[in-house]
Amino acid sequence: MVYPRGSAAGSIFHLKITLLGIEPAIWRLMAVRGDTALPRLHRILQAAMGWEDYHLHLFRVGREHFGVPDPDFDDNTVDERGKRLRDLASYGDAFIYEYDFGDGWRHLVEVDGVLDQNENELLPRCIEGERTCPPEDVGGIGGYKEFLRVIRDPSEEEHERMLEWAGGRFDPEGFDLEEAEARMRRLRPRRAPKRDAAKAP
């Protein structure tokens, strides 16, 4: 079933998020509820990609910007609180998710499918993906390309220091679905334990 925008409360959205400006593409496919609030969607996108949520973010939908307004700037940002995924998009739509305005990471988020809600499905869920997310504070696209060049060349003076900064090792081609799912599980609401039905006397 295809739901019009704003009406998919009891539905599951399949979202594909792709980090723009990097080839081969770094992307994830995930399943989330249509009524997911934007602050929560931000945390889900962070978990799916592997970001650490160190910086500010913004959702760009057409000419509208949704995020956390800064009273010191008149930037026409609409407060994301109270807005939900279903308010932004429906099947076939796409929007931009920006993260870390210093490094300037832009992601294309596409609605690949909108399905009827299955109450037994545990959400959010990462379905698949490819390639590793860049490290935080690496310096945007240009900084990431330089980082990869240095860690691939043991003769580089900064090789060891860069590897140590990245945690000792970094595989740009890797993607660990189990690790992504573990991050997603931490975002799932806890279910109340089922109580045994009262026994008849």
pLDDT (tens digit per residue) in 126-135: 999 999 999 9
CB hemisphere CA count around 3 (13 angstroms): 25
Task: Compute the distance between CA of residue 92 and CA of residue 120 in angstroms, rounded to an integer.
Answer: 25
Q: What is the mean pLDDT of the chain?
A: 91
Q: Do 111 and 93 meet the contact criterion of CB atoms below 8 Å apart?
A: yes
Per-residue confidence (pLDDT) for residue 197, from 0 to 100: 47
Q: What is the pLDDT of residues 15-49, one digit of tens each?
A: 999 999 999 999 999 999 999 999 999 999 999 99
Rounded to 5 degrees, what are φ and ψ at 52? -110, 5
Q: How large is the average pLDDT for residues 119-140? A: 95
Task: Assess if CATH 3.40.630.20 describes domain 11-132+173-185.
Answer: no
Domain boundaries, the chain: 11-132+173-185, 133-172
